[in-house]
């Protein structure tokens, strides 16, 4: 098994999707380069998250699930396991939904039908983000921002990153990678939180 991320050990990816065909597609796309765990309901997903045998590196989470919505599972996940990146999967591609998912803590947003290249890009980005292991627990490198600022912590960290490297040429990809977001969703969230375009702040690359 060769890791899609180039890491020594392949990442462990949890697929939470009630549609068997979509689960099959995702598993087939990832099983050559990742360890794949599947859940067809939010309840089963939470059971997997609680099981000590699994050290998950990423969750691919369907927006619409039986009994509990994907956003509910996302919020529980980010409250109890904040270090695990989550990509939301949905057939609904509205701007409001994307922003709602990102503000709830999602790291990426994949619209169905999911394109293979886009999927692999997201998995690679989110499983190679800068994580630290502190006192036996995995913690993200994203710093908390004073809640009184009313700005998403990831954008606060991106702005802090920019300040720390103000003398260097910082690209959009650098900033997105720093906060474990895909480039497109970093741009979307940056515009929503600051009211200005990220292209006016960071150098465009690629």
Out of 103-112, 113-122, 185-194, give the one with best mean pLDDT.
113-122
What is the fold of 142-200?
Arc Repressor Mutant, subunit A (1.10.10)
> Nearest CA to 158 among 129, 131, 116, 190?
190
Mean pLDDT of 26-34: 95
pLDDT in tens, 163-172: 677 667 778 7
pLDDT in tens, 58-81: 999 999 999 899 999 999 999 888
- What stretch(es) of the chain map to CATH 3.40.50.2300? 12-129
Instruction: Output 51 or 60, whichever has higher pLDDT.
Output: 60
**CATH number for the domain running over 12-129:** 3.40.50.2300
Q: Which pLDDT value is given to residue 133?
A: 31
Q: How far apart are CA 192 and CA 68, in angstroms?
A: 27
Q: Which pLDDT value is given to residue 103?
A: 85
- What stretch(es) of the chain map to CATH 1.10.10.60? 142-200
Tell me the CA distances in angstroms from 185 to 50, 81, 106, 203, one per residue in order: 28, 21, 10, 16
Q: Is the pLDDT of residue 47 over 70?
A: yes
């Amino acid at each position: 098994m060769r890791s899609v991320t180039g890491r020594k050990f392949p990442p462990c990816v949890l697929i939470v999707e009630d549609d068997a065909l979509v689960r099959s597609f995702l598993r087939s796309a990832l099983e050559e380069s990742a360890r794949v765990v599947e859940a067809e309901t939010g309840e089963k997903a939470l059971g997997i998250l609680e099981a000590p045998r699994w050290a998950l590196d990423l969750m691919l989470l369907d927006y619409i699930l039986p009994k509990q919505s994907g956003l509910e599972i996302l919020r529980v996940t980010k409250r109890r396991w904040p270090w695990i990146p989550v990509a939301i999967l949905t057939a609904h591609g509205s701007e409001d939904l994307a922003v709602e998912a990102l503000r709830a803590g999602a790291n990426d947003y994949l619209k169905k039908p999911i394109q293979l290249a886009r999927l692999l890009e997201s998995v690679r980005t989110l499983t190679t983000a800068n994580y630290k292991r502190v006192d036996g627990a995995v913690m993200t490198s994203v710093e908390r921002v004073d809640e009184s600022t009313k700005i998403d912590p990831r954008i606060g960290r991106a702005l802090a990153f920019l300040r720390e490297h103000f003398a260097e040429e910082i690209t959009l990809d650098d900033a997105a990678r720093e906060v474990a977001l895909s480039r497109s969703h970093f741009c979307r969230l940056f515009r929503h939180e600051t009211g200005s375009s990220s292209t006016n702040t960071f150098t465009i690359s690629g």
